[in-house]
């Protein structure tokens, strides 16, 4: 290592076992480098990517986020759909280390670029009732190189209609953690059910910590998966639609 150089170490202790690791990343790996703005309770990029990967979505199917906030879920879906490496547009602290060859990073980025499919057509839409969040979503998509890939528009959940089939909805709606918010959150869940009831071929995935979600949504989930959004226990309610017919 460089003489006199300082390196950040991480120390973790589990029972009687201590693990010491060298920080090669700098900023956390969930920071992809495209967020120029965000809302009050943003979903981590890694969590958003995980939600997409837990669904049945494929790039040839429509994808919709009805409460997109700063656009994290649609952006991560677009990167997954085009096989774009999530760290491609950010820097890592170990790139500054003299003892690590710059060719390693050059080769890794070249491999990632070659693996990406920038021509993959995608049908991804993100909507939000707050026009300010839509503007932030557009800025983030621009930073992520996806300004012409994702359609963001201001819209309330109840106004969504579509004639498309076999799409996937992924939503991270408000949870109603404060008692005064519970009424509006329950109303939002009812609106979602009223709209998605008329979309029988679509699959719906909703992340929430609200334990009465299925009762308010008036439908039992096909599957429920426990996830942690930071330190908050949440559940991913999965409502599976039919598989799209095979193409000849």
- pLDDT tens string, the chain, 248 residues long: the values are 454 567 888 899 999 999 999 988 888 888 888 888 776 667 899 999 999 999 999 999 999 999 999 999 999 999 999 999 988 888 888 888 888 888 998 999 999 999 999 999 999 999 999 999 999 999 999 999 999 999 999 999 999 999 999 999 999 998 765 545 788 999 999 999 999 999 999 999 999 999 999 999 999 999 999 999 888 899 999 999 999 888 76
Residue 52 in contact with residue 36, Cβ under 8 Å?
Answer: no
**Does residue 90 belong to any structural domain of this protein?**
no
Domain that holds residue 143: 31-82+117-239
129 burial level (CB within 10 Å; 0-12, 13-18, 19+): middle
Q: What's the DSSP call for residue 179?
A: G
**Does residue 2 belong to any structural domain of this protein?**
no
Residue 164 in contact with residue 99, Cβ under 8 Å?
Answer: no
Instruction: Tokens 């760290």: give the residue.
Output: 87
Q: At CA 91, angle to CA 88 and CA 96, rounded to 5?
A: 135
Q: What's the DSSP call for residue 220?
A: -
Q: Strand pairing of 150-154 and 124-128?
A: parallel
- pLDDT number for residue 84: 95
**Does residue 65 belong to any structural domain of this protein?**
yes
Six-digit token string for 134: 């839509």
Distance CA 239, CA 223 (A): 7
**Does residue 97 belong to any structural domain of this protein?**
no
Residue 167 in contact with residue 63, Cβ under 8 Å?
Answer: yes
Helix, strand counts (H, E) of the chain: 6, 9
Six-digit token string for 246: 């095979």
Total tally of structural domains belonging to the chain? 1
**Does residue 20 belong to any structural domain of this protein?**
no
Six-digit token string for 233: 């226990």
Q: At CA 210, angle to CA 204 and CA 212, rounded to 5?
A: 85
Distance CA 81, CA 31 (A): 19
Distance CA 46, CA 66 (A): 19
**Does residue 102 belong to any structural domain of this protein?**
no
**Does residue 17 belong to any structural domain of this protein?**
no
Tell me the whole-structure pTM to 2 decimals: 0.89
Report the CATH number that the domain containing residue 143 is assigned in CATH.
3.40.50.150
**Does residue 244 belong to any structural domain of this protein?**
no
């Amino acid at each position: 290592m460089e003489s006199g150089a300082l390196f950040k170490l991480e120390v973790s202790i589990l029972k009687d076992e201590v693990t010491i690791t060298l920080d090669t990343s700098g900023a956390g790996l969930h920071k992809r480098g495209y967020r120029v703005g965000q809302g009050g309770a943003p979903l981590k990029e890694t969590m958003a990517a995980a939600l997409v990967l837990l669904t049945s979505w494929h790039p040839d199917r429509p994808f919709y986020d009805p409460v997109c906030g700063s656009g994290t879920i649609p952006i991560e879906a677009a990167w997954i759909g085009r096989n774009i490496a999530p760290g491609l547009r950010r820097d890592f602290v170990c790139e500054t280390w003299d003892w690590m060859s710059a060719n390693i990073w050059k080769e890794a980025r070249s491999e990632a670029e070659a693996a990406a499919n920038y021509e993959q057509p995608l049908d991804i839409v993100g909507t939000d009732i707050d026009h300010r969040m839509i503007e932030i979503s557009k800025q983030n998509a621009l930073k992520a190189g996806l300004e012409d890939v994702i359609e963001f528009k201001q819209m309330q959940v109840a106004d969504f209609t579509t004639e498309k089939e076999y799409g996937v909805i992924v939503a991270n709606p408000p949870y109603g953690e404060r008692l005064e918010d519970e009424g509006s959150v329950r109303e939002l869940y009812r609106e979602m059910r009223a709209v998605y009831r008329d979309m029988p071929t679509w699959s719906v995935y909703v992340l929430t910590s609200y334990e009465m979600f299925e009762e308010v949504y008036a439908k039992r989930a096909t599957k429920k998966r426990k996830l942690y959004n930071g330190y908050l226990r949440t559940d991913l309610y999965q409502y599976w639609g039919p598989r799209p017919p095979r193409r000849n």
